[in-house]
Amino acid sequence: MIIQSELLKPQSIIHGVSTKKYGNMSYDRDQGNQAEINLKKFLGKLDLDLAEISLLKLPTNNTANVALISQPIKKGRIVLQEKDVKEIFRIGAKPGFDACVSKAANTFLAILPADCAPVMLFDPITGYYALVHAGAVGTKDLIVAKTVFCLKKWGRVDARDLRCYVGPNICAKHYKIDGKSYNIASAIKGQLLMTQVQERNIEIDSHCTFEDEHLFFSHYRAAKKEEEGRQIAIIGRK
């Protein structure tokens, strides 16, 4: 089972979020060297081959930094570095970036969420797409709004044309900060509306990564957090 957006399915973009059926996707938390095998099975289901595409894993660090990829990079699975990107919209001095924008062909952006939301954006007019890793820190720093700003700045995208999907994440019932519930999806939707994305073009996934244990890995649910697996979320184009 691959989780996909009904809003994005008809578009000329390939996307998806893995489930436990495909196993752990984290090379850092790999058990038995299965991560690469799991990844290839997942990509195969989307008719993708690592030998033919660039799969670019974002160096997420709970930042509000947004990067621009202007052209395809070498084929295979690549952990992005700042030298690989054309431009970075940076907030503060924290390294890494938790959002990336591109329109390059044969290129797929990837993150490995556990409870944070993968946010996928696509403009059918210009062909620009973006992927955001959005947790409490990022949403409080307006990372989704900043990604839309970068789409406008770098791609001349009209936010009213964007199709936006907020993927599986931990629900407010199980996510507390300083003893208070925090609704990641609601915060993201607010930022999208604030940037003039149309409500009809926003899809919020109903899955909770904490509650749907048969489908998802969860950092908050894990007993041994350093060993807990990760989903993969990707978006891109051939």
**85-113 confidence digits (pLDDT tens):** 999 999 888 999 999 999 999 999 999 99
pTM of the model: 0.96
pLDDT in tens, 13-38: 999 999 999 999 998 876 677 999 99
Tell me how far apart the alpha carbons of residues 171 and 74 are, in angstroms, rounded to a whole number.
37
User: What local confidence, expressed as pLDDT, does residue 211 receive?
Assistant: 96
Question: Does the residue 25 lie in any domain?
Answer: yes
Question: Does the residue 188 lie in any domain?
Answer: yes
What tokens were used for 1?
Answer: 């089972």
User: What local confidence, expressed as pLDDT, does residue 223 receive?
Assistant: 67
Question: Does the residue 4 lie in any domain?
Answer: no
Cβ(162)–Cβ(197) below 8 Å: yes
Question: Does the residue 140 lie in any domain?
Answer: yes
Cβ(26)–Cβ(219) below 8 Å: no
- How many domains does the structure of the chain reveal? 1
Question: Does the residue 81 lie in any domain?
Answer: yes
Tell me how far apart the alpha carbons of residues 134 and 144 are, in angstroms, rounded to a whole number.
7
Question: Does the residue 162 lie in any domain?
Answer: yes
Asked whether the predicted pLDDT for residue 225 surpasses 70, the reply is: no
User: What local confidence, expressed as pLDDT, does residue 184 receive?
Assistant: 97
Asked whether the predicted pLDDT for residue 227 surpasses 70, the reply is: no
The CATH number linked to 47 is: 3.60.140.10
Domain carrying residue 142: 14-237
DSSP string, 113-126: -SSSEEEEEE-TTT
Per DSSP, the three-state class of 16 is strand
| Burial status of residue 137 (CB atoms within 10 A of its CB: 0-12, 13-18, 19 or more) | middle
Q: For residue 154, give the nearest of 192, 104, 204 by alpha carbon.
A: 104
Question: Does the residue 85 lie in any domain?
Answer: yes
Question: Does the residue 201 lie in any domain?
Answer: yes
User: What local confidence, expressed as pLDDT, does residue 76 receive?
Assistant: 94
Number of C-beta neighbours around residue 177 at 10 A: 10
Tell me how far apart the alpha carbons of residues 113 and 133 are, in angstroms, rounded to a whole number.
7
**Percent of the chain that is helix, strand, coil (3-state, to 5):** 20, 25, 55
- Averaged pLDDT, 144-148: 98
User: What local confidence, expressed as pLDDT, does residue 92 receive?
Assistant: 83
